[in-house]
Structure 1
């Protein structure tokens, strides 16, 4: 495939196909689409995790990623003209990494995004780069790679030639035959200076981490490797298929929703809630709750991850038929009980409080009303998160795109529109793998324009006028309760109810 041909836009390459690969916590998902965004092939395979040990440890075997990717790719390419797949991109969970040798062979298990064994080292990392982290609006967390690298260094030699590979980097190495450049999106939580686009070697030196641990970094969409003959036989992908630098799963979902222009935003609601928007400038959040990825077309993709989410439903109603509970919840609009349903102790966004506890105002009369209160509480958290983004300078003025497992509940989607008092939209292909197929197709061109061609219009849901005022009262009561506990700054509390 010639370089000139690769740089052309999808519409200029008749018959071209584009692949996206998503390495999730529970499995690997592959999607193949044409230049119009029509999905022609999909595949998936499960993954296993190991949890336990001191603290909250969570590991996976990187070889399982490869086995799952081979199975998912083979399923996705079956029945297709695989030779037409011109390029692929890979996303994975933000902050998951391993150490590998110079050939890309694992030296450690994969330390997952929510593994917090780095807790004793987080303040040391924060102090070593305090000025830089402030400039980048980053709050170092125990689950991020740098603190966990210090844990690895203390519990065994890092080894000559060792290199940090994020999940997507490892799969690139297996597909191409060796390590390649990582992307700036996955590198963000590993301490990459996204303003100057370099590793901050002076900070790493203060931490005793050799610069050789950190490989070259490119912007998402840049070509970094090609599929080898051996990998082609294992996956069904064509030999020589271009591999372009990917992004983290949250950014991939934002691409899949086509939420790439200022004023647009996406809400990813699964076990927890992630909100992302678009900004022409880097936002500075004094509280450290919002951080930003670089937009491949220029500008920034600010957002934050909350501990509010659908995980609260499973914890409160294990094994229950949630569709049946949805129907019952419609009788409680709003519920007498108002909750901020954290799935774990502490909150990361829209406010940062490691000591935060769930907040409850009022009492439910029935179990069904408590369920309704949880649904409404997550929606209130979503509205508060949008207020936080708007306060910092990234207001979402277009219909919010909803993706994630919660979109399977039609009732909850309608409820979220009612609480926001604004329309929402469910994309037709709300998958991270779909976002990576768009990124693969955009390589050498505008991601925003490519998404406009490949992301079809979704299903728009309008708020019910008679419900908006009802839920607004409940939301205001929750904001008041959060402010009384000093969880919210006066500025955020005022913005939320403005």
Structure 2
């Protein structure tokens, strides 16, 4: 039995898991990462602290196991900009994908056609927290920082560099914003369109899928593992979760109800509508000729956390509130765009903001919470309509721990949802990719067999068809107001 530690480096939590041959977790550990919310919409993380979380969870897992492990498989958050020098030291705090400092710049790019040009060349839409606008902002405001950097990468490859000394990037991370997903090479005209041709040398060349690296002396000391132990890095958490959940056939999709609402659909067709709305991502997967059309909306459990803080309730009570207010939330409607950086899928608008309507003195917290949860489910339907969902739908993330919210998703989407038994699907996906890279693949079907299915209720689905039409009309009106 090959034993691989899967490490998922999330935005707020790092988790390590070791699985048995059936895909069940036999040892796991997690620890929090620090997210720094700063004025001006800035959101940053400290690379050293993030690396320390990786060391912490790996050492905890090893303490719970008997005997050695065969490899470490990394996955984690994508986007943002993690600037490092040749030794892997951060030259400034990492800029998170949640960051909004480039909001105004992105609005200028949208008006001037830059976003459309990049989308036509790479099939990925730009948003404030992706590398292109962040790098351009830093180039204008902190050029000396970029001068000191050897690489402008992402979370997973930043950790990989600290563990192995290698400067590289997985094709999934590189997919946004400059990679041609078909050739798996950077499109230099897309780089130039963003005014970054003079910073082209900061982009690490993508590694071939399933490349195996090795712990160097520094990484081995950090993790308490042998020098030379195999390490894999990628895909990042969105495609890793799709792989770990069981998405394998074109048309299958996965809903990740986490900090963001990530909606992905597997496709073997590289075609996209170049005249469509420049939003979402076209992610390269470990299999050439397969892609994930990803619509990672900025709405998600962070919105629920906000509502819980507003009402002074615990997250565990959300399910109870959903049962206290039925479908339609007694006439309360919502648009869920609470992120300071607006929305990035299935449309991009840094000015997108939330709204509630239909409120009166007769309404209470249950109605507002129900309306918010329904609006997030409508946003998921909007994303899946854009991504082309036609097959089996899987789901993961903290949001699906709530039976009531999961049922709401199924009813709004009008389709059954398959929930893997183990919530750590990102780490599962990273381990499955690593095992194949090592030449000892696990039985993916066997791993996906342990799951449950949430059926939709036909009468509720019919009700929500009309609700979705109302949501679309409200969104169209709001988008006109955001432009004023």
Interval containing the TM-score (normalised by the shorter chain): 0.7 to 0.9
Q: Alignment partner for residue 199 of structure 1, among 174, 186, 190?
A: 186
Q: Tell me the distance in 1 between the aligned counterparts of 2:163 and 2:97.
A: 23
Superposed, which structure 2 residues align to 1:309-388 within 5 Å?
A: 309-318=300-309, 319-334=312-327, 335=329, 336-344=331-339, 346-363=342-359, 365-367=362-364, 368-388=366-386
Give the direction of change, closer, same or farther, for the CA distance of 1:283–1:273 in structure 2 (3 Å limit). farther
User: Is the counterpart of residue 144 in structure 1 residue 130 in structure 2?
Assistant: yes
What's the offset of the Cα at 1:257? Answer: 1.0
Please give the secondary structure, in 2, of the residue aligned with 1:104: coil
Could you list the per-position Cα deviations for residues 39-73 of structure 1 after superposition, in whole angstroms to 9, with x for gaps in the alignment? 222122222232214x2112211111221111110
Tell me the equivalent position of 2:162. 174
Structure 1 spans left out of the alignment, 5+ residues? 1-14, 488-498
Answer yes or no: is the 8 Å Cα contact 1:340–1:360 preserved in 2: yes
Give the direction of change, closer, same or farther, for the CA distance of 1:242–1:483 in structure 2 (3 Å limit). same
The two structures have a TM-score, normalised by structure 1, of: 0.84
Please give the secondary structure, in 2, of the residue aligned with 1:195: coil
The two structures have a TM-score, normalised by structure 2, of: 0.86
Give the direction of change, closer, same or farther, for the CA distance of 1:129–1:198 in structure 2 (3 Å limit). farther
Give the direction of change, closer, same or farther, for the CA distance of 1:148–1:484 in structure 2 (3 Å limit). closer
Tell me the equivalent position of 1:8. none
What's the offset of the Cα at 1:387? Answer: 1.9
Give the direction of change, closer, same or farther, for the CA distance of 1:152–1:363 in structure 2 (3 Å limit). closer
Give the direction of change, closer, same or farther, for the CA distance of 1:150–1:485 in structure 2 (3 Å limit). closer
Answer yes or no: is the 8 Å Cα contact 1:58–1:115 preserved in 2: yes
Q: Tell me the distance in 1 between the aligned counterparts of 2:13 and 2:30.
A: 7
Answer yes or no: is the 8 Å Cα contact 1:361–1:478 preserved in 2: no
Is the deviation greater in 135-144 or in 478-487? Answer: 478-487
User: Is the counterpart of residue 49 in structure 1 residue 35 in structure 2?
Assistant: yes
Could you list the per-position Cα deviations for residues 438-461 of structure 1 after superposition, in whole angstroms to 9, with x for gaps in the alignment? 2211226798x8532433331111
Is the deviation greater in 42-51 or in 55-64? Answer: 42-51
Q: Tell me the distance in 2 between the aligned counterparts of 1:132 and 1:347.
A: 18
Please give the secondary structure, in 2, of the residue aligned with 1:304: strand
Q: Tell me the distance in 2 between the aligned counterparts of 1:288 and 1:396.
A: 22
What's the offset of the Cα at 1:480? Answer: 3.6
Superposed, which structure 2 residues align to 1:16-165 within 5 Å?
A: 16-53=2-39, 55-83=40-68, 85-119=69-103, 121-122=105-106, 123=108, 131-154=117-140, 155-157=142-144, 158-159=146-147, 162-165=150-153
What's the offset of the Cα at 1:416? Answer: 1.7
Tell me the equivalent position of 1:421. 414
What's the offset of the Cα at 1:209? Answer: 2.6
Answer yes or no: is the 8 Å Cα contact 2:179–2:185 preserved in 1: yes
Structure 2 spans left out of the alignment, 5+ residues? none
Could you list the per-position Cα deviations for residues 177-217 of structure 1 after superposition, in whole angstroms to 9, with x for gaps in the alignment? x1232111112235233332223345546524344322221
What's the offset of the Cα at 1:425? Answer: 1.6
